[in-house]
């Protein structure tokens, strides 16, 4: 049977229409578009800020944060400073080695050197959704040397000779965040030595074989700072879903809803493909989603063990969401974790009590106030590794420039601190020096709002169970 040209044109036009936002618009009202957009924003915001970091670290060679592209283990034997702006609330007491890996063609082999028994280290393995899907660390593997094969979801090979363990990544791309404890400036040469002994190589190179065919090149969208907070975030969410592999189990219906606003479909999300009315609804949904997430964060911010509930595997977050917050899914927790401290460690590795207010519940602001935090003698943080207290600007969420270039105080600095007659330790948290005699205990604050994070590495059960009372920041004037 022959089909007339006009009829064929109509069929083709209808087929094209099915794959565009215009078709989706016929199936969705502004009210539903707003609701779906809100869901998608809460779900996808962590993936957007994850993309921001990936683009700056591994894609954009012109970025000041660029660390060498996919497959390159960036060894950085230094601590973070106010010049580092890609990650909010950055850790500044364990130098990083960072890796972005593309696992589509073949797995990688991550080599860990033998570590001193008293030195904490961790390789945090993060998938494209920002779940901490696994760890290679002093906590999980001890201080022995090892070679770990990290494979993507589609690899089905056998365990090669010489491999200590196979680690499965749920997505085709991963971020590995390697932290190694630094014992002050004199330890820097040893840190450089250890970082040189960390090694990442493709499986084919490890086995001395020819490399497989390379996976297709990807057209990465340019990152525009600020898009993570607006309707523009949907384009990045759509892109991240397109490279994150198969739909996660249990999220099939959710993806169908997202498809109604052309997220996760065969076509790229294009805001301009929708009518002004739907565009306005999508923008309103993003704004409402962000406001709801910020309200949730505010509601749990007084929980000193909040961080232990915001970072972990997908299964852990789902469990906590239901048990601790009576939520049907874990997406709000994932959002909160990404917003307050992207790439925070899971609770077994570290706990991060956040100080946003003083003991009277008033927001911290050093423009006209001085503060103290005191650790009582015999009641210092019960950790297997070490602890630190880091200062952050309340506006930028970054480290503070100050005359001492001091961004934190921590337990490796213990011999430098001035202790009270009873053995207690008081830190002075303010914008101006407390005087030369007390300056070793000074944690410089900005001339304005701030927050501080107490990092507890290798927390003991007393911390994880809430039995150790976390000290308060007190207003001193």
User: pLDDT digit string (tens) for 254-280?
Assistant: 999 999 999 999 999 999 999 999 999
Mean pLDDT on 395-402: 95
The 10s digit of each residue's pLDDT in 77-128 is 888 899 988 778 888 889 999 999 999 999 999 999 999 998 999 999 999 9
Mean pLDDT on 411-421: 94
The 10s digit of each residue's pLDDT in 356-392 is 999 999 999 999 999 999 999 999 999 999 999 999 9
Using the predicted structure, report yes or no on whether residue 17 has a pLDDT greater than 70: no
Mean pLDDT on 14-34: 62
Residue 44 lies in a domain: no
Q: What is the CATH number of the domain that holds 411?
A: 2.60.120.1600
* Domain stop point among 188, 207, 226: 207
Residue 322 lies in a domain: no
Domain that holds residue 173: 67-207
What pLDDT band is residue 178 in, cutting at 50, 70 and 90? very high
What pLDDT band is residue 3 in, cutting at 50, 70 and 90? very low
Residue 203 lies in a domain: yes
Residue 466 lies in a domain: yes
Number of domains in the chain: 2
* Domain stop point among 152, 183, 207: 207
Mean pLDDT on 147-155: 97
Residue 36 lies in a domain: no
* Domain stop point among 207, 232, 265: 207
Model-level pTM? 0.84
Using the predicted structure, report yes or no on whether residue 72 has a pLDDT greater than 90: yes
Q: What is the CATH number of the domain that holds 152?
A: 2.60.40.1610
Q: Which residues contact 113 (CB under 8 A, 6 or more apart)?
A: 145, 194, 197, 198
Using the predicted structure, report yes or no on whether residue 14 has a pLDDT greater than 80: no
Of 218-222, 340-344, 436-440, the poorest mean pLDDT is in: 340-344
Residue 348 lies in a domain: no
What is the average pLDDT value for the chain, to the nearest integer? 92
Residue 461 lies in a domain: yes
Residue 192 lies in a domain: yes
What pLDDT is recorded for position 22? Answer: 44
What pLDDT is recorded for position 26? Answer: 54
What pLDDT band is residue 301 in, cutting at 50, 70 and 90? confident
Mean pLDDT on 218-229: 97
What pLDDT is recorded for position 5? Answer: 44
Using the predicted structure, report yes or no on whether residue 7 has a pLDDT greater than 70: no
């Amino acid at each position: 049977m022959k089909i007339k040209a006009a009829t064929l044109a109509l069929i083709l036009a209808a087929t094209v229409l099915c794959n565009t936002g215009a078709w989706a618009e016929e199936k969705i009202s502004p009210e539903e578009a707003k609701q779906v957009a809100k869901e998608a924003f809460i779900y996808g915001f962590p993936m957007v800020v994850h993309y921001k970091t990936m683009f700056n670290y591994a894609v954009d060679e012109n970025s000041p944060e660029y660390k060498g592209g996919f497959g390159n283990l960036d060894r950085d034997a230094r601590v973070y400073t106010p010049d580092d702006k890609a990650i909010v609330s950055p850790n500044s007491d364990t130098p990083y080695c960072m890796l972005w890996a593309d696992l589509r063609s073949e797995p990688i082999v991550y080599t860990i050197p033998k570590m001193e028994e008293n030195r904490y280290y961790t390789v945090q393995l993060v998938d494209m959704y920002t779940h901490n899907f696994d760890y290679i660390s002093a906590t999980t593997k001890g201080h022995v040397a090892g070679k770990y094969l990290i494979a993507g979801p589609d690899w089905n090979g056998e365990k090669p000779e010489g491999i200590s363990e196979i680690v499965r990544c749920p997505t085709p791309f991963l971020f590995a965040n390697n932290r190694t404890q630094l014992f002050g400036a004199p330890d820097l040469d040893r840190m450089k030595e250890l970082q040189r002994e960390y090694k990442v190589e493709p499986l084919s190179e490890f086995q001395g074989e020819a490399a497989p065919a390379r996976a297709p090149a990807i057209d990465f969208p340019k990152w525009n700072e600020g898009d993570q907070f607006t309707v523009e975030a949907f384009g990045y969410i759509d892109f991240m879903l397109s490279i994150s592999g198969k739909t996660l189990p249990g999220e099939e219906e959710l993806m169908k809803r997202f498809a109604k606003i052309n997220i996760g479909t065969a076509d790229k999300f294009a805001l301009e493909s929708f009518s002004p009315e739907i565009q306005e609804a999508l923008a309103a949904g993003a704004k409402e989603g962000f406001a709801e997430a910020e309200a949730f964060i505010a509601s749990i911010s007084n929980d000193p063990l909040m961080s232990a509930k915001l970072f972990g595997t997908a299964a852990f977050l789902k469990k906590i969401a239901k048990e601790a917050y009576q939520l049907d899914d874990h997406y709000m927790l994932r959002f909160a974790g990404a917003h307050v401290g992207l790439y925070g460690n899971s609770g077994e590795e570290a706990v991060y009590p956040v100080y946003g207010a003083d003991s009277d519940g008033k927001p911290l602001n050093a423009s006209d106030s001085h503060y103290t935090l005191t650790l009582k003698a015999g009641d210092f943080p019960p950790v297997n590794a070490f602890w630190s207290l880091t200062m952050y600007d309340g506006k930028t969420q970054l480290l503070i420039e100050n005359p001492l270039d001091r961004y934190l105080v921590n337990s490796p600095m213990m011999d430098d601190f001035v202790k009270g007659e009873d053995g207690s330790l008081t830190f002075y948290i303010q914008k101006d020096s407390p005087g030369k005699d007390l300056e070793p205990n000074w944690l410089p604050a900005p001339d304005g709002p701030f927050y501080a994070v107490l990092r507890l590495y290798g927390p003991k059960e007393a911390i994880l169970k809430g039995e150790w009372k976390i000290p308060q920041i007190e207003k001193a004037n």
